[in-house]
Amino acid sequence: MATSRSFIVLVLLLGLATFSCKGDIGTPQGGDIEATLDSLELKLNWLDHRLGQERWAKAIGGRADSLEFFEALSRAATSDEFVFNTLRSGGGRLGDEADRRRFDLVYGDVLHAYVNNSRNLNGTFDSLDSFHRLGKYEFNGEMLQREYLDVLVARSGNRSDRELAFRALNSPGETVTGQVGRLFRLRNQTAKRFGYNNYFALTESARKVGSSDYLTLVSRVDSVSRPEYQRLLGDLRDSFREPAFEIWDWGYSAAETWRELDPYFPADSQIRFLKRSLGEMGFDLDNSPIFFLNVGDSTSPGRAETIVVSAPHDIRVVCNLTDGLRSMQNLLRATGAALHTAETSQEPNLLGRKLESAWSAGIGRFFEDLCLQPDWLRTYARVPENLTIRAVRAKRAHELLKQRLLLTYAMFEYEAYRNPNTNLNTLWWDLFETYAMLPINEDLQPWAVSESFVHSPLGYRDSLQAEVIAAQTLAYLKGQYGGVVGNPEVRSFLVHNYFRFGGRYPWQELVERGTGEPPSPAYLPGE
């Protein structure tokens, strides 16, 4: 009965907002932009609340009858034609600072949703969305989740298994590869109707970032990481016994280290590790609005998800804890997102809950790798000194490869929109050879299985920026306070300089305000 009443309320809200906003779609009336932002915020706030309830129901019961319904309503609200055309008229007409910031936060999402929901493109988008929602790949006659295959590639001591798992993950078939190429072309066609050369340029414009900034970021990260990456790659090749050192062999040198480290992170100790370590950093989780649920499903891979039911009063972290480091990292990342929401107090509501993707990912990265800080390993997991040293070294090698792959994907997205009629597979492997400096395998299509290209335009740029945010914040805290582990000043710094503002300010401004200097790749591994 409550669900029925909620549905009726939502329909009335949607109908009222639509009725009040009707007009000439091509030439929105002056002054409508503030009302449109208010209407969109009202709908999204309510829908986010309902989606949180449905995701919680699915997490604890395995199903949620109305989840797809509310997801569809959310997509419809974001891709609404009138909303898009009104916002496209420009946020420059907005006089209020909070309104301008609301506009900056939502317009990119509205643009992306509108393009993907357009008549000529929505079939391709929906098909690729279904492919990623399935998230399963054939391996040795079984359909396995990506998480299992990722672990095989990273941890298996059997080279044949590593290669087969990598190939399973990166052989999506002609249908998917064709659809991704079509997605690039169709998005470009839409962008040209709006007067832009390609969808990359349109998206950059919506996010107020020039392509030169994009290329500058790529160039700076490349120059920071290249020398150490080349040295590390040379050492790995020299110590490798097989004829060729391939991408699926990268984790081999550290696989034994990770296997030895995993037993120090038993599933039944991870919540205790979490509460004690974050408690000594100033976060009292037992007296916070964050509720933890471990579903304990031994048949599924480890995961952790933050579900915001009512910010900042009702935040839930649903996790499936499994033995090992990865599960601990997932738990820390999800808890970092929950803490950010719990510590934010902003009006309008949109500024309290809507964060730039680079910023939310950067905060997640900061928390995720706390458990690989040497002091954390020694203090909470009681890891021996020799293994701690090896784990820190393995982490650095992993981060270097991650940076090089992010560069590959970021430049692929840039070039694929500039010329979507080129051979995308050749483009990918040329860039892979340039940045990863590893052998080419042209029978595979890693680019075609990227969820980011479907759902998150410029997502790899955001991921690079997230690495910068996490690294610079950690370096500042170590330099200013002597470290992060066991230091209650950490909470004070994060809440005062980062969390309490929500999405009110651009992430670059928050980093500079907090650390005293503009965001810089200089703190990334490699320097």
Going residue by residue through the chain, which has 527 residues, state the pLDDT in tens, using 9 for 90 and above.
444 444 444 444 444 344 333 333 334 443 489 999 999 999 999 999 999 999 999 988 888 889 999 999 999 999 999 999 999 887 777 888 999 999 999 999 999 999 999 999 999 999 999 999 888 898 888 888 888 899 899 888 889 999 999 999 999 999 999 999 999 999 999 999 999 999 999 998 888 776 778 999 999 999 999 999 999 999 999 988 888 899 999 988 898 999 999 999 999 999 999 999 999 999 999 999 999 999 988 778 888 999 999 988 899 999 999 999 999 999 999 999 999 999 997 777 888 889 999 999 999 999 999 999 999 999 999 999 999 999 999 999 999 999 999 999 999 999 999 999 999 999 999 999 999 999 999 999 999 999 999 999 899 999 999 999 999 999 999 999 999 999 999 999 999 999 999 999 999 999 999 999 999 999 998 54
Q: Which of 408, 448, 458 is nearest to 424 (CA)?
A: 448
- pLDDT score of 526: 56
Contact between residue 37 and residue 99 where contact means Cβ atoms under 8 Å apart: yes
Reduced to 3 states (helix: H, G, I; strand: E, B; else coil), residue 445 is: coil
Distance CA 220, CA 406 (A): 13
Neighbours of 441 (CB within 10 A): 17
Amino acid at site 260: E
- pLDDT score of 25: 35
- pLDDT score of 350: 87
Distance CA 418, CA 191 (A): 12
- pLDDT score of 360: 95
Q: Helix count (H) and strand count (E) of the chain?
A: 23, 5
- pLDDT score of 348: 72
Amino acid at site 242: E
What backbone phi and psi angles, to 5 degrees, belong to 519? -55, 135
Q: Which of 51, 91, 57, 99 is nearest to 75 (CA)?
A: 51
- pLDDT score of 5: 42
Reduced to 3 states (helix: H, G, I; strand: E, B; else coil), residue 306 is: strand
- pLDDT score of 122: 92
